[in-house]
Amino acid sequence: MNEWWVFPFAAGVALLLTGALRRYALFRGLMDSPNERSSHTVPTPRGGGLAIVLTCLVALPLLNWAGGPTAASLWALVGAGAWVALVGWFDDHGHIPARWRLLAHFVAAGWALAWLGGLPPLPAFGLDVDLGWLGYGLAAFYLVWLLNLYNFMDGIDGIAGIEALTVCLGGVILYLLSPATGAEWAPPTLLLATVFGFLFWNFPKAKIFMGDAGSGFVGIMLGVLSIQAAWVAPELFWGWVILLGAFVVDATVTLVRRVLRDEPFHRAHCSHAYQYAARKFGSHPPVSYAFGAINLFWLLPVASTVALGWLDGALGVVIAYLPLVGLALWFKAGAAELQ
C-alpha cells in the first residue's frame, strides 16, 4: 500500500478550496451576522467546511484504490457523509425544519450501519454484551447525536477543527497500538489532513466558518470511524468514545440541564461550557487549545490503556468522563443564560 501521497495532497486541496469557498461566500453574501446567540462580533463567511467534505469524498476512493479502506467502509463513509453534508448545505443556504433534518440524519446512520454490519458484541465491565438488533438502534442514535452535537459545539474559532484533528490523531495512535490493525488508520489520517488544511482559514481568527455541511460531515465521519474500529477490535471502539469525550460531555450535560428546565432542546443558545469559558477568558483560542490539550494529555492516555487491554473499555469511559462532567459543570454548561 503506497497511499502516503494522498494525505499532503488532501491537506493542500482543502487549504486552497477553503480559500475559494471564502471568496464565493463573500461574493454571494453567505455571512453569519452576529446576534445575541453568537460568539463572534463581526460578520463572517460560512460554508468553509465544504472543502473538507469535497476533499474527503474524492480522496477516500483514492485510498481504497491504494489498498485501504475496505469497500464496505468506503461506502459507509462516503454515502453517510455525502448525504449529511448535502442536507447541511441546503440548511446553510435556507432552512430545513428540524424534524426533517433529524429524519435525514437517521437515514444516513442507517446507511452506514447497513454497510458496517451494525454494532458488534462489546466487552463492558467484564461481560461480553451482544445487543443484536437493539445494537443497530442504539448505534443509530449514537451516530445522530454525535453529528448533531458536533454542530452544536462548532461555535467558536477553531474548536471543531482542533477537536477533529486531535481525535483523529488519537485514533491513528490507537490503531498503531493495536495488533489487530490493518489499513484502518488511513481514513482518520485523511480526515486529519483535510481538517488541517481548513484550519488555516478558521484559526486562530476565523476568516470563514465550517457551517452545518462541514460540521455534520465531520461528526458523522468520526462516528462511523468509531464503529468501524469496533469491528477491528472492540477495545478500539471504547478508545474512540473516550477520545470524543470533551465534545460529548459538554454537549450532553448542556442538553440535559436545558431539558430539565423545559427549554426547547433545538433552540439556538450560548450556554455550552466552552461558550461560557470563551466569555470568561474574553478570547476563543485559549478555550480551543484547552480542548485539544484535554484530548491529547488526558483522554488519549486513558484511551491508550484501553486499546492495550490494560483497562476495561466501559470503565475507561467512566474514568475519562467523570472529570469532564465536573469541568463542564464548573464552567456552567447548560446554566440559564442572563437575559
Q: Which residues belong to the annotated binding site for Mg(2+)?
A: 151, 212
Closest residue by Cα to residue 317 from 225, 254, 248: 248
Could you list the residues known to form a binding site, using ranges: 151, 212
Name residues whose C-beta falls within 8 Å of residue 267's C-beta, 6 or more positions apart in sequence: none
Name residues whose C-beta falls within 8 Å of residue 293's C-beta, 6 or more positions apart in sequence: none
Phi, psi of 38 (to 5 degrees): -90, 155
Closest residue by Cα to residue 318 from 250, 259, 238, 235: 238
What DSSP element (H or E) covers 87? helix 71-93
What's the half-sphere exposure (Cβ side, CA atoms, 13 Å) at 209? 25
What are the angstrom distances between the C-alpha of 20 and each of 9, 24, 98, 124, 202?
17, 6, 30, 47, 14
